Chain A
Amino acid sequence: MSSTLLLSEFAVFVIAAFLGFELITRVPSLLHTPLMSATNAIHGIVLVGAILALAAPGDTFTKVIGFIAVVFGSMNVMGGYWVTNRMLEMFRARPARRRRRR
């Protein structure tokens, strides 16, 4: 790995870290759990890494490890987004009811 590549990766890391801090400020406690679940779904991006690991040339060991990683990553992505959506669907009902009752 060349040092310029490493430096730019590190720069991206630092900037993304600050961005993350900035994004999650003043979130109402009402949304804490859906937010946790949604960010949970995003780290399902490891599936990209798992696909690359399984696709790389290797032997039976790497194939087995890579396969489990792909299954795990897919569960994380699919389940994470699905369950977050189900949760947020319930939240959506709230403002509608509020209007109807007032």
Chain B
Amino acid sequence: MAAPAFLAYLLAAVLFIFGIRRLRSAETARSGNSISAFGMLIALGTTLFITGTLSLPEILAGMVIGGAIGAVSAQKVKMTAMPQMVAAFNGVGGGAAALIALSEFYQTDVLGTRPETLVGSITAVLSILIGCVSFAGSVIAFSKLQDLFLTGSVSFPLQRTVNAVVLLVALLCGANAISGGAILPFLSPFASIAVLFLLALGLGVLLVVPIGGADMPIVISLLNAFTGLAAAMSGFVLSNYVLIISGTLVGSSGTILTRLMSSSLGRPLGKILFASVSGAAAKKSGEREERPVNAASPEDVAALLNYEAEKVIMVPGYGLAVAQAQGAMADLARLLEERGKEVKFAIHPVAGRMPGHMNVLLAEADVPYDRLYDMEDINDEFAETDVVIVVGANDVVNPAASDPEVESPISGMPVLDVKSARHVVFVKRSLSPGFAGVDNPLFYDTEKTMMLFADAKQGLQDIIAAVKSGQ
């Protein structure tokens, strides 16, 4: 590599490091992202100019097409759909890394246009394996979050054994390709690479299919780290430092981020990946229909708020974000405060499926920032609260999460302790369980719980109207 290119790549890598560093605080994060984007511009410009590929129309066409798809979808995606968007971009990155390695293998083994090296072959195999797992896993994650197919957790007998067998056969094919076909004489090196490619895709599907919805952000973070590692492996294949440095940075920082996320949710990583979510959740959903609930009208809720509530806590969830009901919730809070009641907002770390997402949505609705409380800060206060209003949240207030008897996708996740309050009002379209697919026993506590079956926004507006007319 020529010295100017080398130095330009080094500069790009330094900008990535500097950019990640500035992502630590909300104040500097945006400039950090821009700095890292500038580094990317330098790295790409260098590649195009120094290697003379700027004149190749197929490269420019590919960049324009891919860039346009990326930019348009990034601009159009709703804030609530952010996790699946991140999964999608991660998936294509992993796919690109796998395809690069596939192409390099083809060049050495079939065309003979590239010198074959042992390290090149090993890292190409790893790049294909990790990249394909990341691609297929991200596709499944995307579809789960988008409610396309395979939503909830899907499990089948001997799942772990099947995964292990698929991985072993894939590795065997990889070893065969590296050894030039010495291990499995009936498979040519490139044919075994093709089999490895397909098996790795299958493995990605198998790994993510059993994982329940509440754990999805953590899985996406893990796949993100995988793609970084796959990119680093491509760097070894191509002997390109900027790929090695940036891919490794993402691989290791992504691993730490995954661990931070899972520990802040009280969900050990091993449990998420290998928990056998058996019939427990399904069995519970079967008996759901027969149990009575206390269905309430907006007037019932208003009477409760007007006459029995001194202290109220609002719990916003994903459903509220989807219904764009944060304004209505803020209005109800203001109205209750005008009536001399104390109102606070309780924010679960994954409210809205995305850490930190709910704070932003409420800030946009002009909810005073000092009324928003994190889970740790407010959980003790539920016991002395008269009414909790839960809008569009289920998993994050589900007491079943701490029930050792129930094995479920949300087991062990810390939840908001709404069950300790005197009254709980759920504003919800139906009795359907939340994203994690686990029934909430609080729905059926007819002494304590009122269910207002309505769209989040409409329901809140009806309550506001009823509170106004009730006094």
Contact = CB atoms under 8 A, between A and B. Distances in A.
Nearest to B73: A79
B135 to A, nearest CB: 9
Interface in A60-83: 61-63, 65-83
Contacts of A75: 66-67, 69-70, 89, 92
Interface string A3-26: 001100100110011111101111
Nearest to A79: B70
Contact of B261 (A32, A54, A56, A79): A32
Contact of A56 (B25, B114, B120, B254): B114
Interface string B8-41: 0000000011011101111101101110110010
A27 B29 CA distance: 11
Given A27-B257, A48-B243, A61-B106, A38 B62 contact: no
B30 A73 contact: no
Contacts of A46: 93, 96-97, 100, 227, 230-231, 234, 243, 247
Contact of B246 (A42, A81, A88): A42
Given A25-B256, A95-B27, A83 B249 contact: no
B241 interface: yes
Contact of B250 (A20, A33, A78, A83): A20
B67 A78 contact: yes
Contact of A20 (B63, B96, B253, B368): B253
B458 interface: no
Contacts of B246: 16, 42-43, 45
Interface residues of A, number: 87
A83 B95 CA distance: 19
Contacts of A81: 33, 36-37, 40
Contacts of B37: 41, 81, 85
B109 to A, nearest CB: 12
A94 B220 contact: no
B264 to A, nearest CB: 5
A92 B30 CA distance: 8
A50 B104 CA distance: 10
Contact of A53 (B66, B104, B253): B104
A76 B107 contact: no
A37 to B, nearest CB: 5
A85 B151 CA distance: 29
Interface in B274-318: none
B213 to A, nearest CB: 16
Nearest to B87: A40
A80 B356 CA distance: 18
Contacts of B23: 27, 31, 34-35, 38
B75 A23 contact: no
Contact of A41 (B36, B62, B97): B36
Interface of A: 1, 5-6, 9, 12-13, 16-21, 23-59, 61-63, 65-95, 97-98, 101-102
